[in-house]
Amino acid sequence: NPTIGYAQFDHSQQIAEITNEILRFQNVKYTNLLSFKRLEDYIRYSASFDETEEELRKRNMALSLQLEADSDVGDGQSQDGFMPRKGVGSQ
Is residue 33 assigned to a domain?
Answer: yes
Structural domain span for residue 61: 4-71
Is residue 35 assigned to a domain?
Answer: yes
Per-residue pLDDT band for 26 (boundaries 50, 70, 90) equals low
Is residue 76 assigned to a domain?
Answer: no
Is residue 38 assigned to a domain?
Answer: yes
- How far is Cα 52 from Cα 50, in angstroms, rounded to an integer? 7
Higher pLDDT, 28 or 17: 17
Residues 52-78, mean pLDDT to the nearest whole number: 69
Per-residue pLDDT band for 53 (boundaries 50, 70, 90) equals confident
CB 63 within 8 A of CB 42: yes
Is residue 26 assigned to a domain?
Answer: yes
Is residue 40 assigned to a domain?
Answer: yes
Tally of structural domains, the chain: 1
State the pTM of this model. Answer: 0.26
Nearest by Cα to 55 from 83, 6, 18, 88: 18
What is the SS3 assignment for 23? helix
Higher pLDDT, 83 or 71: 71
Work out the percent of the chain whose per-residue pLDDT is above 90: 0
